[in-house]
Every structure is written in structure tokens, then in C-alpha cells.
Amino acid sequence: MQRERLTPERIRRFTCPADVKQAFLWDTEAPRLAVRATAGAKSFVFESKLNRQTIRRTIGDVRAWTIEDARTEARRLQTTIDQGTDPRELDREREEAKAAAKAAKEAARREAEERKRYTLRALCDAYVAHLEAHGKAKSAAATRSAFKCHVTTAHPAIADTPARDVTAHHIAAIVRKVREAGKERSAGILRSYLSAAFNAARRAPFDASLPAELIAFGVEHNPVEVVAAIPVKAGNRTLNVDELRAYLLALGGELPDQALRLALLAGGQRLAQLLRARVSDYDEQTRTLRLWDAKGKRRDPREHLLPLAPKAAALVAGLVQRAKAQETERAKEGERPADFGNLWLFSTHGRVAMTETTPGKRAAEICAAMKCEPFDLRDIRRTCETMLAGMGVSRETRAQLLSHGISGVQAAHYDRHSYIAEKRTTLEAWERRLKAIEKGESAPANVRQLRRKGNAA
């Protein structure tokens, strides 16, 4: 073992012999310190023993370390060993602590990023996207509008809170502000929308039908549940015979008016469903119009068949011819023709469906011109059902005709009767009733109810 007091000159002259891989020059002043020379480098090293095991540590390159600094480091390492501690263990602990600190910093960064990303605002957007993906465009539009108006715009601080940290107090504050503004129905609807969004996020990890994006919000409970629901006040406005006659006489030949007239002739159908009807939905031979009812929690829209009476059938047949004529004219002008069956019945140009607000505004204009108690499309629908009940149409037939209240195990799995005959009889009687009202005549006889075989009276 070669020992000399290390000096810069001695280190410079020290080289590794050609016949060995490495050589050591040990310091006399710090006995555990040496310079190790290899074919291409020189470095300070420390070597000692602990529990009869040799411990060797590389201190550093001789060009980066001074001799005195290397001796100080060697003495520190020897002190550590004299205390019974392996310096390598200390190094591992330091590396582990460093790695843990780095991981904690990264986790904090991710947490901060997630807090900014998975907010109530983002949850609202994700839930609206989920509705759109399932074909519920109207519900998605209404939900998006409610969230934008009453959540993100009215309460930006709450909207930017991580969804999993939103509390019942936050929700109560949001709903209360809407209710105190005198919009009680809007407040109740908003609460329902928020509850649905949180429920979707909560169930997402366990329900494959829900988008995986909702899982990342980490929602484990629904803060809306403890916020009291706001009961919906049932409407009670119905038009009397004179008002309905004035409404009928006000309807002209424009497309929005035809939509309003068909909704009325068909027994008070929902405008949203009528406006989604295409040319292919009408069977001219059977005079049957097919609508699709996506209302409620149905996964798939329910087929809703309307065996139209003569006047309504003539109206729809005219709409079919109108749509086909428009498309034929476009083809003559060089446009690529579309499939006739895909054309909308209610569309200015055939390829874009009329929105519900268009006939809604027209109904409002008629109401204003009548100078009577205000009414809207829901009141027209309520008027139709009320009059149908007065004509002797059973609750069951009215439910089938207006496509509402059809749920439960019996309706979903067992009752496969189409009710076509009952609906046809009802709509024919209803057209006669409307004709009499329009002419100012007395009401025709009540509907004679059909009975299915085996049914009691």
C-alpha cells in the first residue's frame, strides 16, 4: 500500500500502471483518504471498515475537490463509522427523503391541478355532454342554460370549487338565490339538475353506462340530497270553449301555425316531439304518425304512434309533399339531393328542424291578441286533456294518446296492447269536437269507449 502526504504535484504525477485496472495513493495525513487512478480518471476515495466489512466511498474527481476538502470529507465519514453508522445507509436515507419530497411535491402539483380541473363548473359541463351523447339535446340545452345562468355566472367562486369539496351549504346558497328572486320553479329545476350531475359522478365508478370522465371528479356523496326539494306547483289554466275557438280561428297557414294546429288536432301533443317528426315517420296508408318520446329517464326513446283523424292526416300529408317538393327543387338547382325520408316535416328548408320556441312565440302572439288570461303551450295541452276527459275518454286512453304516465313494471314488460283503435276513435271524436267549437256549434256526443276482450266494464 503506497502512502505519501498528498499534494497537488504528487497527485498530478500519480498514474495507473498499464498492467492494472486501478491504483491507489494513500494520504498520510488522513489515513482513510486515497487518490484512485484508472486509465482515464483520478478521484478521491475513502475506505474504512465497519463490523469487519470494508466500506469504500468515492468522494469526487480530483479536479473538482481540493485536497483539504477531501480530507475533511474523509474525517467526517470516519466519524460516522466510529459512531457505528454506515455512511451508505445515510446516503440511502437522504435519497429516499429526497425522492419522497419530490413525490410529495409532484402529488401537491397534481392535487392543485385536479382542484383547478375537476371543479363544479367542469362537472356541470361533463354532465351536459353526457346528456348530449345520449341524444337528449333538449334536456342538455336546458341544463346548460340553467348551470350557466344560476351557477357559473352567479356563483363563480363556488363553480371553481373542486366538485368533491362542494357542500350542501354551497348548493343551498345557489338554490336560495334563485328562489329569492321569485323563480321558484327554476330553483326546483336547478336543484334537480345539480342532483342528477352529482349522482352521475358518484355512480360513475360502478356504472359502465356512465362516462369514465366522471370518475376523475372523485365525488363520493351527493351534497344536494340534504337540500330540501321544491315542490312543483301544478298548473291549472285551461281555455274555455270561447277561448279555444278564438285560438283555432287565429291559426293561419304559416308553418308555425300548422305545427300548433297539428298539436291541437292530435289531442294536445308535445311540440318538441312533433317538431322532431320526419317524412319517414308518416304512414300515408294507415294515416299514422310516429313520434319518439324521449322524455324522462328512458335510455331509448319510446315509440309513440298517432292514428290521425282526417283533418290532421291531410295536414301531415301536405307537409310531406311540401318537404319533397322543396328537396326536388333543390336537386334541380344542382344541390345534392337528400333522402326524402330524412327530411323534417316542420322545417323552413327541409334540412333543419324548427325549434320549439318558434311555435311557442306564435302561441304567445295569439294569446296577446286575444287579450285574455295568459296561457302557453302547456295550458293548451292541459285544455285538450281536460276536454277529452269531459268527453268520456278514459284515463288510460288519454295517457296512451298523450304519452304520459306510462311507466312501471306492467307498462314496461307486460302490456303490449298498441291502443291504436282506442286512440283512433278518440282522435276522430276530438276532431269533430274541435270542428263544432270552431263553428260555434254545440258539442257532439261523447266518445263511445272501446273494450278489449276479456275486460270488465
Angstrom CA distances, 115 to 112, 220, 345, stand at 5, 15, 47
Cell of 45: 476515495
In the chain, what percentage of residues exceed pLDDT 90?
A: 70
Both 334 and 413 in one domain: the answer is yes
Residue 176: which CATH number? 1.10.150
Residue 360: which CATH number? 1.10.443.10
Both 209 and 258 in one domain: the answer is no
User: What would the mean pLDDT of 299-316 be, rounded to a whole number?
Assistant: 91
167 pLDDT tier (thresholds 50, 70, 90)? very high
User: What would the mean pLDDT of 165-169 be, rounded to a whole number?
Assistant: 96
Q: Other CB atoms closer than 10 Å to residue 388's CB: what's the count?
A: 24
Instruction: Report if residue 386 sits inside a domain.
Output: yes
413 pLDDT tier (thresholds 50, 70, 90)? very low
What pLDDT is attached to residue 127?
96
Does the pLDDT value for residue 305 go beyond 60?
A: yes
C-alpha 267/C-alpha 276 separation (Å) is 17
Both 346 and 253 in one domain: the answer is yes
Range of the domain at 423: 241-439
Instruction: Report if residue 74 sits inside a domain.
Output: yes
Report which of residues 332 and 234 the model is more confident about. Answer: 332
C-alpha 293/C-alpha 306 separation (Å) is 12
What pLDDT is attached to residue 337?
66
Q: pLDDT tens, 182-203?
A: 998 899 999 999 999 999 999 9
What pLDDT is attached to residue 357?
87
User: What would the mean pLDDT of 317-338 be, rounded to a whole number?
Assistant: 83
Angstrom CA distances, 260 to 19, 179, 267, 361, 376, stand at 104, 32, 11, 11, 11
Q: pLDDT tens, 41-75?
A: 999 999 999 988 999 999 999 999 999 999 999 99
Instruction: Report if residue 233 sits inside a domain.
Output: no
Q: Any idea which of 86-95, 288-297, 433-442 has the lowest mean pLDDT?
A: 288-297
User: What would the mean pLDDT of 95-119 be, rounded to a whole number?
Assistant: 85
C-alpha 427/C-alpha 447 separation (Å) is 10
Both 404 and 345 in one domain: the answer is yes
Residue 79: which CATH number? 3.30.160.390
446 pLDDT tier (thresholds 50, 70, 90)? low
Both 257 and 405 in one domain: the answer is yes
User: What would the mean pLDDT of 229-237 be, rounded to a whole number?
Assistant: 78
What pLDDT is attached to residue 351?
72
Both 257 and 306 in one domain: the answer is yes
Both 298 and 405 in one domain: the answer is yes
User: What would the mean pLDDT of 77-98 be, rounded to a whole number?
Assistant: 91
In the chain, what percentage of residues exceed pLDDT 70?
A: 91
Does the pLDDT value for residue 457 go beyond 70?
A: no
Q: Any idea which of 208-217, 235-244, 416-425, 440-449 has the lowest mean pLDDT?
A: 440-449
Q: What is the pTM for the complete model shown?
A: 0.59
Both 301 and 335 in one domain: the answer is yes
Instruction: Report if residue 273 sits inside a domain.
Output: yes
Facing residues of 3 across strands?
26
150 pLDDT tier (thresholds 50, 70, 90)? very high
Both 298 and 401 in one domain: the answer is yes
Please count the structural domains in the chain. Answer: 3
* Residue 206: DSSP 8-state: G
